[in-house]
Amino acid sequence: MIVLRQLATLIAKDLRLEWRRRARLLVVLVFACTTLLLFSFALGRETELLVKASGGLLVLALLLSSTLGLAESFRVEHEDRALEGLFLLPVDPVAVFYAKTITNTLFLIVLGPILVPVALALYSVHIEPGKLGDFALIWALTASGLAAPGTLYSGMTSRMRGQDVLLPLLLFPLAGPLLIASVRSLTLLITGDAMDELGAWRGLLIAFDVIYWSIGGVLYPFVCEEGT
């Protein structure tokens, strides 16, 4: 199918561009690590408190980094109006949406292998090796849950004045349930899951992802073009 071919081509294009502009990945990483450090200043040196809060702080760092990454992902499309050129070929907007969302998800996931060890070190946290798989899964689900509505919104706001404030304004409240579920899950993995709640939270994460990946693809074609 044409759409699938276009999707594969666009993913390859986005990944190639990400690689060529990999300096910005470094910038976002440094930003994220800085936030982790600042959180520990805010909370103080009490180890027990830091351990309990570590899951939440990791998710917050990911959220703040996501706004930087998401905003950038469309900047490259509008420098020379390259995206408009693609729509004129014509390229199916649904393919554009999913290619961008997949690439943005990968971008956020890749922050994990650096951020998590930094947080573990700063907050004196220990995770049992057996739980690392679950940890990675929760991280991936959170990343993809942020990427779907984030891609939709950054696609909408990327050429507007006030984009810097609009994207967080729209995304942060929306991500509320995602963040609650993600923070609870990571905290349970770190501090222990006495009542076996992890399954329920993971379910909420999956529900969030499925819902927003679906409606994102349906709604993006309505907002992808300027109309001016």
Partner 1 sequence: MKPLTWQHGLGVLGFVLLVIGSVMGLTMAPPERHMGDVSRIAYIHVPTAWSMLLASTFAFGWALASLWTGKERFDDLLAGSVEATVVLAVLMLPSGMIWARPTWGVWWDWDVRLTSSLLGLLLFAGILGLRAFVDEPRKRATWTAVATIVAYVDIPLIYFGVRWWRSIHQVQSSPETVSGGMILPWRINAFAVLFITLWFIAMRSRIEGGKRQIEQAGEPQRIVEAIA
Partner 2 sequence: MSSPSEPSPPDQPIIAIRDLGRRFGRSWALAHVDLEVARGELVLLAGANGSGKTTLLRTIAGLIHRTRGELRVFGRDPNRARAHCRSRLCLVTHHGYLYENLTALEMLELWNRLSPAPRPRSELMPLLERMGLAERARNEVRGFSAGMRKRLTLLRAELERPELLLLDEPFSALDPDGQRFLEQWIRASRAEGRTFVIASHALMRATNLGGSSVLLERGQIAWRGPSSQLLARFSGTAS
Residue 6 interacting partner from partner 2, partner 1, none (CB closer than 5 to 8 Å by kind):
partner 2
Residue 210 within binding range of partner 1, rule CB under 8 A: no
In sequence order, what DSSP letters do the residues of 169-212 get, joined into one string?
Answer: HHHHHHTHHHHHHHHHHHHHHHH--TT--HHHHHHHHHHHHHHH
9 sits near partner 2 (criterion: CB under 8 A): yes
Under the criterion CB under 8 A, does residue 206 sit at the interface with partner 1? no
CB atoms within 10 A of CB 141: 23
- The candidate with the shortest Cα–Cα distance to 131, out of 212, 210, 185, is 185
**Residue 211 interface partner, choices partner 2, partner 1, none, CB cut-off 5-8 Å depending on type:** partner 1
CB nearer partner 1, residue 71 or residue 111: 71
Helix 176-191 × helix 47-78 angle, to 10°: 140
Question: Could you give the angle at the alpha carbon of 76 between the alpha carbons of 223 and 28, nearest 5°?
Answer: 105
Query: Which positions from 83 through 122 interact with partner 2, judged by CB under 8 A?
Result: 84-91
d(CA 45, CA 48): 9
Residues binding partner 2 (CB under 8 A): 2, 5-6, 9-10, 13, 16-17, 20-21, 76, 79-82, 84-91, 225-228
Residues binding partner 1 (CB under 8 A): 149, 152, 156-157, 160-162, 166, 169-170, 172-174, 176-178, 180-181, 184, 197, 200-201, 204, 207-208, 211-212, 215, 219, 222-223, 226-228
